[in-house]
Structure 1
Amino acid sequence: MSNRQPTMERQSLSISGMTCAACAARIEKVVSKMEGVHEINVNFALGKGDVTFNHTTTPVEQITDNIKRLGFDARVETNLFAKSASTSAECNRLRNRFLLSACFTIPLLWTMVNHFHFTSGIWIPVLFLNPWFQFAMATFVQFVIGGPFYTSAYRALRHKSANMDVLVVLGTSAAYLYSHYVVFHPNATAIGQHPPLYFETSAMIITIVLLGKWLEAMAKKRTLHALEQLHALQAEEADVLRGRTVVRVPLAEVLPGDTIVIKPGAKIPADGTVITGWSAIDESLLTGESQPVDKHSGDTVIGGTVNLNGTLHVKAEKIGSHSALSHMIQLVVQAQHTKPSIQRHADDIAELFVPIVMSFAAITFAAWEFVFAPGDFGEALEHAISVLVIACPCAIGLATPTSVLVGSGKAAKKGILFKDGKHLEMLQQIDTILLDKTGTITEGKPKLTDYIAVGSIDEMTLLRYAAAAEVHSEHPLSRAVVAEAEAKCLAVPPASGFQAFPGYGIRASVEGKDVLIGTAQWLRKDGVKVHDMAEAVKFESQGKTVLYVAIQGRLAGLLAARDSIKVTSVQAIDTLRKWGVDVVMVTGDQERTALTIAQEVGIRSVHAGSLPDDKVKVLQKLQQAGRKVAMVGDGVNDAPALAAADIGVAIGTGADIAVEAADVNLVRGHLTGLTDAIRISQKTMANIKQNLSFALIYNVLAIPLAVIGWLEPWMAGTAMALSSISVVSNALRLQHSK
């Protein structure tokens, strides 16, 4: 029997035709029941869906066809930024529909002054009071401009669901058809009485709903601005060195290994390493850092950043969809597609809201028709229409996704990437943070400060053998050893049989001799006699990391390296402690070194000599005690703990495996990015709660007012539109928050 797991594929869909959160909930409910579909998240605010499915049993075309059968248009999203153009087009369409509707509604609105004593003296053209004129104006608005509402409502009801359009159609149709009946049956009213027409009510509701939709579309367009800014960073062409000639080619034709020539003022088209040249690079739009960063031979550059002055020759390494910028864009979009748990609760409410409101409207009509105003069909109808219109769940559906959209976009501008909407929600709940030392608290660029030979071997030979063994390792300490050998112009021999043991050290064969470099405990375990050295104690008390070197099973000496502490680490740790967050250091370094660094940055709890498994055990022990734990690291040995934490936070300058295992990526590589991320999480969640509270309180207060007759239908329509606009406007405040 085969134990192979089904191949899951993740696909973004563009979904149009949704009018409220109930539509999104309906799509999720139907598609999630399809065979082979693992998960689907539909974002009403963005008009997008994110589906995970088994493509061998359920092709994506089958999923889009099923969505189309529900009455919506769905297609595979091939361009992440096509939504911006479609949103602009939708804004224009809604604006034109609103203006046309307003032109036909204004004459009907003018007649409303005749309904009130204090405005009865205002002049009204006689034509506007003609029932047949009103009938003609209202008919155009109801069925030509309002036609899409009927289409959407029909599709929803045909599939046994109800959305906002059902409420709009029911309310406006009731007012229109009653008025239609009065026009064609004038004898139905008492002799001498003016026929009670409600054409202005139906037309005004449609016009106001269109105004609300237009303003919502414009607000959504603004929320896509962060994505557009990221997209604009991507270069379309590159100057590539072909032989001795520089040729300008489309970015798609650039291959890994090509030498790219980047002139002053040009965008860097791909991730790579500087071969020759020196320049200052503006990384502000990508990392949030305002100060330019100096780059020279051997330094890495990121595609999308701007070369300010000198000319650089860069070896292209990651291009197009593999670049850091493309990965950043994908993460931002993914975070905006997925839903925090708070939004799922809102979706559940929205799905039940429409049928509940329809029941309330029916009860309201019956109460006024038979109890409060017996026989006054017109008044009972008015109050029922008010209930139908005011209770549309648009604001509830927009409350969460617009805040997540703006919050994740704000984070991206500061170089903070959330992989999922739920991580944006969870980060502000963290009460304990575990920090790795090297590359997280420190710069991750240690320098070899001391090396002492033991026995017959001299210091230069010790350094030569150590560099030969370390040359194949990517660890920062290994690079420090190799850099020192290069600075001394030593002839480093080739090594073979290289092996790395995370948390312990490395092993290699140099000139036929077995070389071990690592901790004293590891060398002892391998049979090497390692005695306590006063120099080692001294170096460790100075915050230096000590590596022991053994050649052919005998201790040959030790190496000491010092890694400078990031200035921002002290500031970030101090901020976290003021917020009441427990900060713990977990490092594979020696205890004395770890304690020295911890004291310098203000950390009181330290777990030194921690192997990858030990870090996970420390983390799990805290979780079992009921703590919400975040792990922050950058190395390969941090990956297990990053994956096991409630929230894994990777320093963006770290190893790829650490970045992949984490839930949040700090592109800047500084711990102040962590405090910024927590603050953005706090503000976004506070914004979501404000939105939901407003939307729910609005409905709780407004529906009873409509039931008792304190709200005219046009007032209800205006209030409904304003509630959605206010929710989106409140979410947009996040763009300007500090």
Structure 2
Amino acid sequence: MTDSNPTNVPSNKTLVFDVSGLSCASCVGRVQRALDGSDLILGARVNLATQTAVVDVSDANHSSMIEELIVGAGYAASLRVEGEMTSPSPDQGGAYRSAFLWAALLAAPVFILEMGGHLFPSFHHIIGRSLGHDNSRVIQFVLTFLVLAGPGRGFFRSGIPALFKGAPEMNSLVCLGTSAAFAYSTVATFAPQWLPAGSDNVYFESAAVIVVLILLGRWLEARAKGQAGAAIMRLVNLQPAVARIEVDGVISEIATRAILPDDMLHIRPGERFPVDGALTRGTGYADESMLTGEPMPVEKGPGDTVSAGTLNGTSALVMRATRVGRDTAIARIVKLVEEAQATRLPIENLVDRIIRVFVPAVLALALSAGLAWLFFGPDPVLSHALVATVSVLIIACPCAMGLAVPVTIMVASGRGAELGILLRKGDALQRLEHIRTFCFDKTGTLTAGRPELVGLSTATGFERDTVLRLMAGAELNSEHLLAGAIMRAAQDRGIEPGLNLDMESLPGAGLRALVDGRRVLIGTEALMKSEGIDLSDLYAPARDFTGEAQSVVYVAVDKKAAAVGAIADQLRPDSYEAVKSLKSDGMRVVMITGDAKPAAMAMARLLGIEEVYAETLPGDKSAVVKTLRQDGPVAFIGDGINDAPALAQADVGIAMAGGNDVATEAGDVILANGDPMSVVTARKLSYATMRNIRQNLAWAFGYNILLIPVAMGALYPFTGQVLSPALAAGAMALSSVLVVSNALRLRRVGTGYSASGKSASRYVSARDLATEAKVGV
């Protein structure tokens, strides 16, 4: 290779290589050791399930040298183009399927000719009278040779070089087993005099059927792995290939990948948005369930954002592209899932240590079995020795060991994405299993983060509508969250804001303004006292508001106390159910908020949270989490912005995000749907994933521990039977298929939990309280 950087990627980053030819855990180990031995590489993670190598490099300009390391280990590799969304095929086993069918077609006559006589004695005599037994063996030789040289040549192409390099892998075991059976049978066919009397049996059917069954297993395994990656595939395929662009008033079609920021795009009813953008014309509804898990369409109008892959409803819309290519929400979700799938869990370290010695140990056991049968077995000893040796070589299966963890992570990450649970770090699933304390931020996490003016009590001599008009005028040009609440309250009552001639913001306290010729002061109790305002008439309603999980704001007009307003944030639909579910499972639930203590305590009582840390600054939240960790692992759930220190301090940081905010770097887990119930679902996914991994590992190791001795002949003294190499091949193929199939069960995790808010009717929400209080607004 001459071009050291074909994609001109910048330095200091992570490169992803697609690696072909990885067939078992030993293959993964060879590539891993080749990469780990290079000074150019800071870290590498080779994944059998995804057939990738994720490499952290100090200088990405050496990408071709890294590729050569993988090729030098015996595998083909290609650098994946950064930002390109690859669409895995639902059936990745096309090549295995074709090879299996050809092998089955050629092996069927071999099996019939050899085994037919064992099943039906009369068939043996028919062959003798028609073809002749010598001709039958020649036919079996030819057909078996075609099986090994044709569909089975892949085993030899990978296995033989690995043997010569002193790093045997699964293909090497298949090569040795089939070659031994074929070579012995060839001698028995063409030079039987070289063998002891009574030992000239042929095992062509074993060599042929072994190839057929292993190819069948790999085809089924590839299909299952394709299903494991179906979540990513569905996300990638949601983005349309073409879009309709408007240039100088002319509308034409353009490839989605050619869209640039600020392009004007026309979206027909029922079409999917091709890129992220903002609507400029038209109103309608968008189905964003593929991003957020929320089944209800979201109303969209001019200025609202839309995301690539989401579905337009029944309206014709015009949008301006803002984020394209790898910057779209859907592309970043795919990237997050792929990174999670490439993560290595701590539990894999044990697997690696075992696999490193597994294949050499199998070779030693196969040789030992053969020698034992030669010296201590009954006649014909050579035949028994061959059968035992081949069976041990074939039945041993590092494939299942290598797939046990990565294929489970692959399915779990994809399922998480479908549920709106994005794993920035795959090992978060393992850490989340041990969490016993869940700490929630309040605003924007348990609540929607959109305060509303839900009550307004006026002092003697002031009318509500007049005060509300003055408040709306004062807040007209303010960017504070309170301003929006007051403006919406005025709009709901049809009140026009007063004329604002002057406005001064008072950070952390409130504001003062001149509205309709009157001096208006809006803010905290401390601000009012500093201005000499007597609030004695308003303390009673203020206490009532605070007791109902509402914060208060005071209003003064012309140096006189005019009103006290109640501000309430709305609970997210499933906050109560999320807290209830965690507590019912024995979890400790804590609220950590910067809100005032009375309002925080009232909200906590509504949710059933007994432990509350109120009036905490971002740095204080981190300190609280650090203290709580002394009692065990802690998860912190926050909005991912000002909660970043606490998210980083926690054992598992869970960041709440909107559908377009999927690339936040604040947490280990990102809840794209912003639903607190997803915390419960993420915990269930963690438990199910780790249980699935343990089941897979138990099967993979247990399979070999139990069946390798059987293949060696451990049952012969009791049953008088030895394990056929063909049955060994079938068991080996089945073991990998079972591991992948077990992992696929994770696609059902989370069924019954959604962001639909269906549980909201089971409790009294803050929205209900706000609605009752709003009568007085």
Pick the aligned partner of 2:549 from 543, 566, 575.
Answer: 543
CA distance in 2, matches of 1:537, 1:545: 10
TM-score, length basis structure 1? 0.87
Q: Deviations over 1:217-245 (max 9, x none)?
A: 12122222211210122133444555666
Pick the aligned partner of 2:422 from 417, 426, 430.
Answer: 417
CA distance in 2, matches of 1:509, 1:319: 43
Q: Is the 8 A contact 2:291 2:420 kept in 1?
A: yes
The one-letter code of the counterpart of 1:180 is T
Unaligned runs of 5+ in 1: 1-5
Q: Is 2:546 the partner of 1:567?
A: no
- 1:3 corresponds in structure 2 to none
Shift of 1:675: 1.6
Pick the aligned partner of 1:133 from 122, 139, 143.
Answer: 139
Shift of 1:613: 0.7
Q: Is the 8 A contact 1:128 1:134 kept in 2?
A: no
Pick the aligned partner of 2:413 from 388, 408, 413.
Answer: 408
Q: Is 2:721 the partner of 1:719?
A: no
- 2:594 corresponds in structure 1 to 588
- 2:335 corresponds in structure 1 to 330
Q: Is 2:446 the partner of 1:441?
A: yes
CA distance in 2, matches of 1:530, 1:119: 108
Task: Trace 1:639-718 onto structure 2 (pairs within 5 A).
Answer: 639-653=644-658, 659-708=664-713, 709=716, 710-718=722-730
CA distance in 1, matches of 2:729, 2:316: 61
Q: 1:67 to 1:672 in 2, by over 3 A?
A: same
CA distance in 2, matches of 1:493, 1:160: 85
Q: 1:114 to 1:530 in 2, by over 3 A?
A: farther
Q: Is the 8 A contact 2:404 2:739 kept in 1?
A: yes
CA distance in 2, matches of 1:465, 1:18: 68
Q: Is the 8 A contact 2:662 2:670 kept in 1?
A: no
Shift of 1:499: 10
Task: Trace 1:155-194 onto structure 2 (pairs within 5 A).
Answer: 155-190=161-196, 193=198
CA distance in 1, matches of 2:510, 2:168: 65
Q: Is 2:45 the partner of 1:41?
A: yes
Q: Is 2:735 the partner of 1:729?
A: no
Aligned residue-pair number? 715
- 1:107 corresponds in structure 2 to 109
CA distance in 2, matches of 1:379, 1:254: 68
Unaligned runs of 5+ in 2: 1-9, 717-721, 752-777
- Decide which moves more: 594-603 or 440-449: 440-449
Q: Deviations over 1:159-205 (max 9, x none)?
A: 431210111111111222222333343222456x4722222222221
Q: Is 2:67 the partner of 1:55?
A: no
Shift of 1:143: 3.1
CA distance in 2, matches of 1:530, 1:426: 54
Pick the aligned partner of 2:30 from 17, 26, 33.
Answer: 26
- 1:16 corresponds in structure 2 to 20
CA distance in 2, matches of 1:695, 1:531: 77
Q: Is 2:121 the partner of 1:120?
A: yes
Shift of 1:129: 3.2
The one-letter code of the counterpart of 2:52 is K
CA distance in 2, matches of 1:617, 1:462: 38
CA distance in 2, matches of 1:14, 1:324: 24
- 2:618 corresponds in structure 1 to 612
Q: 1:606 to 1:704 in 2, by over 3 A?
A: same
Q: Is the 8 A contact 2:640 2:657 kept in 1?
A: no
Shift of 1:704: 1.1
CA distance in 2, matches of 1:510, 1:620: 47
Q: 1:489 to 1:499 in 2, by over 3 A?
A: closer
CA distance in 1, matches of 2:512, 2:32: 55
Q: 1:655 to 1:264 in 2, by over 3 A?
A: closer
Secondary structure (helix, strand or coil) at the match of 2:111 reads helix
Shift of 1:427: 2.2
Shift of 1:252: 4.4
Shift of 1:518: 7.6
TM-score, length basis structure 2? 0.83
Pick the aligned partner of 1:217 from 183, 200, 222.
Answer: 222
Pick the aligned partner of 2:497 from 489, 496, 499.
Answer: 489
Q: Is the 8 A contact 2:117 2:123 kept in 1?
A: no
CA distance in 2, matches of 1:278, 1:575: 38
Task: Trace 1:495-534 onto structure 2 (pairs within 5 A).
Answer: 534=539
The one-letter code of the counterpart of 1:172 is T
Pick the aligned partner of 1:301 from 286, 298, 306.
Answer: 306
Shift of 1:481: 4.9
Q: Deviations over 1:66-108 (max 9, x none)?
A: 10011100001238554625x74x6222122222222222222
Q: 1:477 to 1:361 in 2, by over 3 A?
A: farther
Residue identity over aligned pairs, in percent, reads: 35
CA distance in 1, matches of 2:563, 2:657: 35
Shift of 1:729: 1.7
The one-letter code of the counterpart of 2:268 is K
- Decide which moves more: 153-162 or 540-549: 540-549
Q: Is the 8 A contact 2:307 2:330 kept in 1?
A: yes
Q: Is the 8 A contact 1:542 1:593 kept in 2?
A: yes
CA distance in 1, matches of 2:11, 2:509: 37
Q: Is the 8 A contact 1:153 1:169 kept in 2?
A: yes
Q: Is the 8 A contact 2:659 2:673 kept in 1?
A: no
Q: Is the 8 A contact 1:634 1:653 kept in 2?
A: no
Q: Is the 8 A contact 2:392 2:711 kept in 1?
A: yes
Q: Deviations over 1:592-647 (max 9, x none)?
A: 11111111122111111111011111111111222x21111115211111122211
Q: Is the 8 A contact 1:574 1:602 kept in 2?
A: yes
The one-letter code of the counterpart of 2:157 is T
Q: Is the 8 A contact 2:309 2:330 kept in 1?
A: yes
Q: Deviations over 1:706-726 (max 9, x none)?
A: 112531111111110111111
Q: 1:195 to 1:389 in 2, by over 3 A?
A: same
CA distance in 1, matches of 2:585, 2:34: 44
Pick the aligned partner of 2:381 from 351, 376, 379.
Answer: 376
Shift of 1:431: 1.2
- 1:229 corresponds in structure 2 to 234
Shift of 1:353: 1.3
Secondary structure (helix, strand or coil) at the match of 1:40 reads strand
- Decide which moves more: 378-387 or 198-207: 198-207
CA distance in 1, matches of 2:659, 2:99: 52
CA distance in 2, matches of 1:662, 1:555: 45
Shift of 1:589: 0.6
Q: 1:499 to 1:168 in 2, by over 3 A?
A: farther
Q: Is 2:147 the partner of 1:146?
A: no
CA distance in 2, matches of 1:510, 1:359: 92
CA distance in 1, matches of 2:59, 2:556: 54
Shift of 1:15: 0.3
Q: 1:66 to 1:678 in 2, by over 3 A?
A: same
The one-letter code of the counterpart of 2:695 is Q
Secondary structure (helix, strand or coil) at the match of 1:84 reads coil
The one-letter code of the counterpart of 1:725 is V
Shift of 1:273: 4.0
Q: Is 2:72 the partner of 1:72?
A: no
- 2:370 corresponds in structure 1 to 365
Shift of 1:128: 7.3
Secondary structure (helix, strand or coil) at the match of 1:310 reads coil
The one-letter code of the counterpart of 1:448 is L
CA distance in 1, matches of 2:245, 2:498: 35
Secondary structure (helix, strand or coil) at the match of 2:609 reads coil
Q: 1:132 to 1:293 in 2, by over 3 A?
A: same
